[in-house]
Structure 1
Amino acid sequence: MRYPVTLRLVIGLLPVFAVAAAAGAQQLGAGVGLDNFSLGGMSSQSQQPQSLDKIVAVVNDDVILKSQLNSAVAEIRQRNAAQIGRLPPNVLRSQVLDQLIMRQLQIQKADQDGIKVSNAEIQQGVARIAQRNNMSLQQFTRAVTRSGMRMSDLRDRIRDEIKISKVRQKEVMGKVAVSDQDVDRYLQNQSLRLSRDHEYRLRQIKLNLPADADATTTGVIRDRLERLRRRIISGEIRFADAARSVSQGPHSADGGDRGWVSGATLPDGFDSALAGISAGQISPVFRGPDGLYLLKLEDERGGDSTDDAQKRVMVTEAHIRHIIVKPNEIRNDARTRKLARQIRQRLLAGGDFATLAKKYSDDKGTSRQGGDVGWIALNRLPPDTRRHIENLDEGEISRIFQTDDGYEIVKLIDRRQRDETEQAKRDKVRQTLGRKRASEQGDRWLRKLRDEAYVDIRMPDYQPTSGALGL
């Protein structure tokens, strides 16, 4: 079997947050990470004699070595050879070093918070990466070995990435909340909703503004970006080259290329800047949450069409009664299942469901009501439970099936369709706002983490950048 030269290692283990934390996590990215990770990019560095290694940065109590920086730079070059060809080597190395520093700070924070990663989680990470590369575990292990990397090194890297995911979940995702009032305000603005339903292919240039910047400072920085905009529009310099040279934001090493970005994740100010331009055009200079920005809109897609806006979301609901019997200290699993069979036989013989539920059901929340669960949406039930209910006729008794709670028997009382179009719309808005807030909160958290750290840069020709919040 022929293996690809570069394996795209995508774990995707970030815990699922109620408001789509995954998108927020993308905005939080710091360091090289496992996305688009090139096995070839690390192999040569692992073979370098350690005696030649030097410290290029001290990060609190840890160090970053020259070999680590070389490996990360090689990985970036392999992924983006065409795009970074004109970037001065010291600028690229500086930007990558900044990102390695941010990655190390997140790992340190996870360790300080006592975040642990089990061997089972690491093995799941390896399995997912193998699956994303369309390989079995055995095939993937051989591919890693052939690339020159040790599996132990890969497992260490996966452990670090899971730590970062967990600390982001704790410090950022878990603190994001969206109220009903937030959803109401969002829905009241039709133009904002439409723009947020789009996806944009963007390049960006960002110049930082100090938190306490006065009007004079802001004006000087704005003038600098305005002059650069005029040079780009006149054709004197390409947007991508300008981004590599001066941008202080994420993605500068890639010529400011952010790829396809959901409007839902964009900070305030981006909506109006994008509203007045078409694909291939440059936005006006505008102020974002933490600096001044210039955007190039490469392309856009999506948005609600008339048909989509009128599409109804119908949900099947079932009115059910149930009886659950659970194993306990007196009644083991076998005896519990036997009891469930006896109850079902009595029901099929004409026994009253409510009476038997009151006598035998271990679900204290419904047993007093004769096992009456009320109306419940089938799509919100566990898949196995849903399968046992979907095919029942009204008045029919289900087979006995096992759940996490015990052995369950269900009777279908009635079935109906309910229009959930409005609720589905509100849920989508809640996710949109959650992703945006996770992105903004993540940027603030990373900036605070960096400001409070002790960092000593020892790399020759280091050029300070602020694009350390993610690739």
Structure 2
Amino acid sequence: MRKLTVLILCFVTNVFIVQAQKKSLDKVAAVVGNGIILSSDIENQYNNYLLQGNQPNPAIKCQVLQTLLTQKLLSQQAVIDSVIVKDDDVDSEIDRRMRSYIQRAGGQEKLEAFLGKSVIQYKDEMRPDLREQMTAQRMQQKITEKISVTPQDVKNYFNAIPKDSLPSINKEVEIAQIVFNPKLSKDEKQLYREKAEGLRERIKKGEDFATLATLYSQDPGSAPTGGDLGFADRSTFVKEFAAMAFKLKAGDISPVFETDFGFHFLQVIERRGEQVHVRHILIVPEITQASLDRTKTRADSIYNIIKTMKADFSSAASQFSDDNETKYNGGMMLNAEEVQNRSTFIPTDKLDPQIALVVDTMKVGNIAQPSLYTAQQTNKKSYKILYLKSKTDAHKANLAQDFPKLKDAAAESKTSKAVSEWFEKRRKETFINIDPEYQTCDQLKTWVTTTASAQIK
């Protein structure tokens, strides 16, 4: 059932672009309660699987149908339990996906050529299926939302694991950091503000916003779509952007303003309740060597303050670090794979290679001198001071060292059991009929109800 849960999330959240099958060629692949699943639904999802670069494997169609069956059960129960997905939420998700599709296709015109229809038409066609997918997700969340795990649950889970099957835990470290981002001077910034002002003026004089955004905007997510960000609510944007977007009227172009990303100006296309549809152009200032030198001097100064015991590392991180994700946690870095329980234990093989090289030379309690680092995804440079709080060698899992990990595993086991029991009960109560073509699938043999089996015969 754990595999089933993963499949639900995989196929529901990773819907890629496919051309619609002609309904006239469809046949009913399965009946679930008062809903049906068409052969084209399965083929479309299988095509999605191939578009992700996977090799052809017809057996995947069995997994696809299983996912669609579970989705139908969940969405039908959602109607009974009044689990509702708002129109605005569906629209936001459609817009998010379309931006991704357009970027992947290389522009809206290329996407429409591939689809054989307009983006507007495609949005309308995908809306019902997407609503059902999102509703199924919400329903599954409701099934598991009240599940909790006590310390005794964790102990019971651990004690049930055969000693020779205990998982191995990799070498882990706890690291704190103080980050110093280079900052341009007022004069250095002005050059980039003027570039944004120049583009805005060209648009005011009649040039096309979308064309200039595609040519000059440095937002990789929206530049291919002419700067279009689709519909989004206030929480989607940083505060400066949101304040500007929600105070303008449709058609208005904002003045140039600054955020942590750079200099923007935007145009409101449409306002719909608490959502706004905007497009923007972003100009990102480039860091100068002079700004890097100033940052190095600042980092050295803070390092000396810590080393001379005039401030402890945690306090210095809270006061001086430019990284908002760690500064309020004493600079402690979190395990990206265990963010929910805020684990500070990070496997050394998951560290940024640049940080790993430095940590490898450190002893517990050491503070490394400021070094220049380049972010892997953004290429942004920053100076960092690192502190090695702890280092744990590779070992077999145990309650003393690995309680947070075991708690997560126990919660996952308890959740999987609850979902499994829910589906087992619902399958027995719901009329389910599967076309003989798919009844050879091993994972679907228990899905057909007795009544349906009798009708097939």
Normalising by structure 1, report the TM-score: 0.39
Larger relative contact order (CA 8 Å, sep ≥ 6): 1
Normalising by structure 2, report the TM-score: 0.40
